[in-house]
Amino acid sequence: MSTTAMAARHETAAEHHHELGFIRTYIFSTDHKMIAKQFLLASLFFLLVGGILAAGVRWQLGFPGRPIPLIGGLFSDTTAPGGIVLPEFYNAMVTMHATFMIFFAIMPLLVGVWGNYLIPLQIGAPDMAFPRLNMFSFWVSVPAGIIMLAGFFVEGGHAGAGWTAYAPLSTNPEYSGVRMGQVLWLVSLIILGFSSLTGAVNYITTVLNMRAPGMTWFRMPLPVWALFITSWLVLLAIPILTGGLIMLLFDQTIGTGFFAPATDGEPLLWQHVFWYFGHPEVYILILPAMGLVSEVISNRSRKPIFGYHSMVLAIIAIAFLGWIVWGHHMFQSGMNPLLGTTFMITTIIIAVPSSIKVFNWLGTLWRGDLHFDTPMLHAIAFVSMFIIGGLSGMFMASAPVDIFLHDTYYIVAHIHYVLFGGSLFGIFAGITYWFPKMFGRMFSPRLGKVHFWLTFVSYNLVFFPMHNLGLKGHMRRIYDPNQYEFLQPLQPLNTFITISAFVLIAGQLIFAFAFFWSMYKGKEAPQNPWKANTLEWTAAPTPPPHDNFPGGTPVVYRGPYEYSSPESTDDFLPQDVPPDRVLRPEIPREPSPLPTGD
């Protein structure tokens, strides 16, 4: 605990032209780094909420009809009388687990945190293009979160129609018993849309117009590329969802009949509108993590990322193709078969750019000088788990196979392999890697590794068996699988998954502890502990002050992946070192000429 670290952290106020009080520094800040940390704390909270809901779901599946231990008495009679989960509450937990995880945890963690933190720093800008809009972007998400939480406490309980809110279950309270909960769900997400949208406008504009001199497009680090392309997806997909949510809200409140069959509405229209957003959404949930992981793998292998240009083109290809595959979520909906076949083909094609990325990560690791720090462990886990998730995706892409797999636990397995094995491990990699930059201290290596291994092992024990469950016909979102005789033999597997899930969730407490402990007691970080090339490490102090670069806007001379470059004696070559200041290896002399022969 030194004075320099303390001084560095409180630099925010002192370095600025005028003193900013506590409120303007920590609460209503326009500094992208502080906003990123606000998103970080808020979304880690919602990650916890989502995890608790998962525990509730797993309890019912693992120990059906048994009272929730310890806290069972806390539940009301409408949710879990005597601690025994009711079907309606189970549906709400399933719905809300996904809703909180997707919209309030993963999206803000990937886009809100890393978009905000990394974009200006990695492109050499002092802040975002629109700092006040950025502040608005965070604060508008707060009422959205509160409204979503409020849904648990209204009459009828929370929305239970799944995070996909299919009509007519979501339009007609007489089918689900839920009225207010669904309305609050809709209102919350409509408000949250504004947060995402304003964020996207900021990120796109900043990357387009505020890159430091020399930071040409193909010298941008991959996290920036990924976040930039993701922001386009957010910009163009979220408004589609907003329109759909509004129509659904009108169906629920003023009795319009957009999606309800009783009024000649079209349930299939809801599905198309939702998934037209929904598929780009899942790429929003993975692309930034891919960017983060590329950075970590390259740095911790001390090697340039293999195939930088193809990595960029793959991100763009995924984003483009992602718009024309949405129907693969609807193979069993009764849609036009010709349309279905088209979607099958496009979905199979989209595996190609993702695979290119996987091969490039492997190519980066190959014969690298590998440092298995915590971020690297998470990054390698990302690659391997993403491979599994991608492979299960290939099965689902095939419409005839999907006939059997749709709405089973096979899908749940796939989702969690890409969202947890992919996105969340990517997030952990990002947090542990950039932790020193954000907080001036290293994330505890020991606690980090304990957390990693516990998470990695228990996570696979939870989700891999779900492939089996699905293949045996175990459907998803089901309260009581034992009502079907053919599923009864699967109960032990469900119980096993539940126990593993409790270990997994408990293991995250280690992360939470390590996070806060490291913030105050972690080893003080040097400016560039990972010996990285990118501007946030080389041109900005750790942590960076307001306006990021005390020496003014940096000038960029090369790409971000010059690790183990022959040009330099060091195993890294930062982007902003002028060519005449590079530590060059001694130029070997020409071999002396051979003695004259014939």
- Residue 246 Cβ, how far from other proteins at the closest point, in Å? 7
> Long-range contact list for 515-522, CB < 8 A, 24+ apart?
515/44, 515/431, 515/443, 517/444, 517/447, 518/435, 518/439, 518/441, 518/442, 518/443, 518/444, 518/447, 519/439, 519/441, 520/441, 521/1, 521/441, 522/435, 522/439, 522/441, 522/442, 522/443, 522/444
User: Applying CB under 8 A, does 78 fall inside the site for other proteins?
Assistant: no
Is residue 236 within the footprint of other proteins (CB under 8 A)?
yes
Establish if 242 lies at the interface with other proteins (CB under 8 A): yes
Stretch that binds other proteins, among 8-16, 247-255, 429-437, 480-488 (CB under 8 A): 247-255
The full DSSP string for 517-561 is: HHHHHSPBP-S-TT---SHHHHTS-SS--TTS-TT-S----S-S-
Binding-site size for other proteins (CB under 8 A) equals 56
Contact 198, 299 (CB under 8 A): no
User: Pick from 179, 272, 300, 476: which binds other proteins (CB under 8 A)?
Assistant: 272
Q: What are phi and psi of 372, to 5 degrees?
A: -85, 55
Residue number, 181 or 265, with CB nearest to other proteins: 265
Torsion sign (Cα): 526, 27, 206, 209: negative
Contacts of other proteins in 329-358 (CB under 8 A): 335-336, 338-339
- In the list 237, 317, 399, 412, the residue contacting other proteins (rule: CB under 8 A) is 237
What's the rounded Cα separation, in Å, for the pair 411 and 467? 8
- 62 versus 278: smaller Cβ distance to other proteins: 278
- Distance, CA of 143 to chain centre: 21
Closer of 215 and 469 to other proteins (Cβ): 215
Which residue of 2, 3, 4, 209 would you call a contact of other proteins, by CB under 8 A? Answer: 209
- 84: how many CB neighbours lie within 10 A of its CB? 16
Q: Is 118 in the site for other proteins (CB under 8 A)?
A: no
Neighbouring-strand partners of residue 181: 158
551 contributes a contact to other proteins by CB under 8 A: no
Among 76, 78, 263, 483, binds other proteins (CB under 8 A): 263
Please provide the DSSP assignment of 118-145 as one string. Answer: HHHHHHT-SS-S-HHHHHHHHHTHHHHH
- Residue ranges in 293-322 that form contacts with other proteins under rule CB under 8 A: none
Q: Which is nearer to other proteins, 149 or 240 (CB)?
A: 240
* One of 162, 177, 239, 363 touching other proteins (CB under 8 A): 239
Q: Choose among 33, 222, 201: nearest CA to 133.
A: 201
Question: Is residue 113 within the footprint of other proteins (CB under 8 A)?
Answer: no
Map tokens 């700092």 to a residue: 131
Residue placing its CB nearer to other proteins in the complex, 251 or 373 = 251
Give the nearer residue to other proteins in terms of CB position, either 380 or 539: 539
Closer residue to other proteins in complex, CB, 45/232: 232
| Tokens standing for residue 523 | 């080893």
Binding segment for other proteins (CB under 8 A), chosen from 176-184, 248-256, 439-447, 494-502, is: 248-256
Which positions lie near other proteins, rule CB under 8 A? 125, 129-130, 197, 200-202, 204-205, 208-216, 232, 235-244, 246-247, 250, 254-258, 260, 262-266, 268-269, 272-273, 276, 323-324, 327, 335-336, 338-339, 553
